[in-house]
Amino acid sequence: MKNYQNEFTHIETFLKKKFNFQRKLFFTSLFKKLWFMSINTADLIIQKYENIYLSPDFNPYKVAKEIPLPKFSKLILKNLILDATVKLMTTPLLIRVTGKCIIVGDLHGNIADLLRILYHNINSDFKFLFLGDYIDRGTFSIEVITLLLALSLKHPERFYLLRGNHEFKEVNEKYGFFDQIEREYNEQNLYNKFNDAFDYLPIAAIINDKTFCVHGGISCDMKYVSQIEELKKPIHDFSIPMISDMMWSDPSDNTNYVGFIESNRGHGKIFGKGAIKRFFDHNPPINRIIRAHQWIPEAVSTLLNNSVITVFSASCYGPHANPSAILKITEEMIEKIVYDPIPQVSRNHIRQTIIESTSPIIFQPFSPRRSSLSPLCFDLKTNDTFRKTLPRTLSAKRRIKKMISAPILEQLKPMSP
């Protein structure tokens, strides 16, 4: 063991010289790396949120006020984004879902609405399909997209994410997501990595062969849904007209709108009864479109004999006091579930628990004894001095030298010139 301790001193000197580590930070940094090695990123994120929404005392009106939200380090988020991007690269642009499914519309950074949906439905046998616009406008864009990416990684056959128009860089750099990341993490590279992942998100889904799901709507350039499968990823912008239409278009029951007309949004089209009928005729047995994209005062609206349904899941959107809603779809029926509005919370007055860790490159997996170590956490209220809560951290740091094994030491040694 004495030889290992000598080796450890040698390693510390090397790392301080190589990476300009300060001595007082070295052991904390090493401790965090060793702990992180034992935890899957998605599991870690889900665990922290399950502690909230699986609690029997869960109250969505207390989220971020009395119930602290986890704030994950940049390196945890980068690990999550990397894993998600790799998965999304092989995910089709048109996904097919069978069985019972819950459909969630725009969330726009409303983490309390998302946690409430999970609280009421996570123990059911329903799958979840999210229709995009997870970020921007609301207070908790980072939290919403982080949890959703983790759930889709952990449960890829149950959680499905589609892309909305706000999952495009040219939109989310203007409407809050960029500013939120700059404020919380002060790193544009993290913002860019999120958008790199968004470029691989699916853009449409078909449920039980009959229900076409998309963020915005259909396109005059899309005769057959199979055309979606012919598109190539990554998709960076709205330069493909069909993509632009599917992200931005809106339906109308105005009898003057027979086909497609230009939208006043600046992107997409307004599509009417004739366009919808032609879409169904060319793509049997599809006979229904479910989409999001539009704020609805009562959270759900139907058009043209229920052939087009819009669902909006972010409550108290902007200045409004609207409810939140989801759709439950089975082979036999569609049920709408409406939840009461949850008032917005200012990010200046929230409580967070910071989960601080780093992603090691040079360490091997280690024993269960090491994996029991707690992460470096801070329980804080914004603008207050934070109170460190480091369970077992000091004793763990004292044990680091005893816990290091020879294979790890071999990896840490500088290479011979």
Of the residues 108, 120, 155, 166, which is catalytic? 166
**Residue whose C-alpha is closest to residue 28's, from 366, 373, 339:** 373
> Is residue 363 a contact partner of residue 411, using CB atoms and an 8 Å limit?
yes
Cα–Cα distance, 131 to 120 (Å, whole number): 19
> Is residue 150 a contact partner of residue 80, using CB atoms and an 8 Å limit?
yes
Residues 6+ away with beta carbon under 8 Å from 276: 218, 251, 289, 304, 307, 308
Cα–Cα distance, 162 to 132 (Å, whole number): 5
Is 166 a catalytic site residue?
yes
Residues 6+ away with beta carbon under 8 Å from 125: 100
Reported in sequence order, the residue ranges of 180-333 that DSSP labels E, i.e. its strands, are 204-207, 211-214, 250-251, 260-262, 269-271, 288-291, 300-303, 308-311, 324-329
Cα–Cα distance, 167 to 177 (Å, whole number): 10
Residue with tokens 């057959």: 224
Strand-pairing partners, residue 329, are 101, 334
Peptide bond into 234 cis (omega under 30): yes
Residues 6+ away with beta carbon under 8 Å from 398: none
**142 sits in which H/E element:** helix 141-154
Cα–Cα distance, 81 to 77 (Å, whole number): 6
**Residue whose C-alpha is closest to residue 304's, from 323, 287, 326:** 287
What residue type is assigned to position 408 of the chain? I
**Residue whose C-alpha is closest to residue 15's, from 38, 36, 33:** 33
> Is residue 44 a contact partner of residue 358, using CB atoms and an 8 Å limit?
no
| Residues known to be catalytic | 166
